[in-house]
Amino acid sequence: MANINRPLSPHLQIYRLPLLPLLSITHRITGCGIALAAVLIPAVLAALAAGPEAYECVRAHLAAWYGQVALILISAGLIFHGLNGIRHLVWDTGRNLAVPNAEKSGYAVIALTVVLTAALWLYLCQCHGRLP
């Protein structure tokens, strides 16, 4: 009789997704997120054109906690997507394709994303005395 309690296939509690496929998935997700976030630019411009009341409404949403979280995530996504894109351009030249080197550059992209996002928002806080 077969053991009923054993898993039939690897699942998320057992199988850990390797770094390189995880970065590839994240690159695609950030690309979609950037495309969706691009709607903010015309929205702000339309609010500016509509007058001070409309712009104040948009500014109030962007200044709220959820707007700040969205802006931080958008900036982190832009930075990650850009750095990972540079990594892919290096791969297109035939360099850094060995798995250990690719993993090292993946960790570098993650670390640089965190550092550059934090530096950007610390700079913005310093300029405005608070989150913009």
pTM: 0.83
> For residue 126, which amino acid is it?
Q
pLDDT at 1 over 60: no
Query: Which overall architecture, per CATH, does domain 19-128 show?
Result: Up-down Bundle (1.20)
| Cβ neighbours of 54 (radius 10 Å) | 15
The SS3 of residue 125 is helix
**pLDDT at 8 exceeding the cut of 90:** no
Give the Cα separation of 43 and 48 in Å (integer): 9
pLDDT > 70? residue 6: no
Contacts of 37 (CB under 8 A, 6+ apart): 70, 74, 77
Distances (CA, A) of 87 to 14, 21, 23, 41, 108: 30, 14, 11, 27, 10
> pLDDT tens for residues 76-124?
999 999 999 999 999 999 999 999 999 999 999 999 999 999 999 999 9
pLDDT at 74 over 90: yes
| Nearest alpha carbon to residue 32 among 73, 90, 93 | 73
Residue 67 CA to its chain's centroid (Å): 15
Residue 101: both structure tokens together: 């080197």
Average pLDDT over residues 49-71: 93
Query: What is the structure's pLDDT at 17?
Result: 81
Give domain limits for the chain: 19-128
Mean pLDDT of all residues belonging to the chain: 90
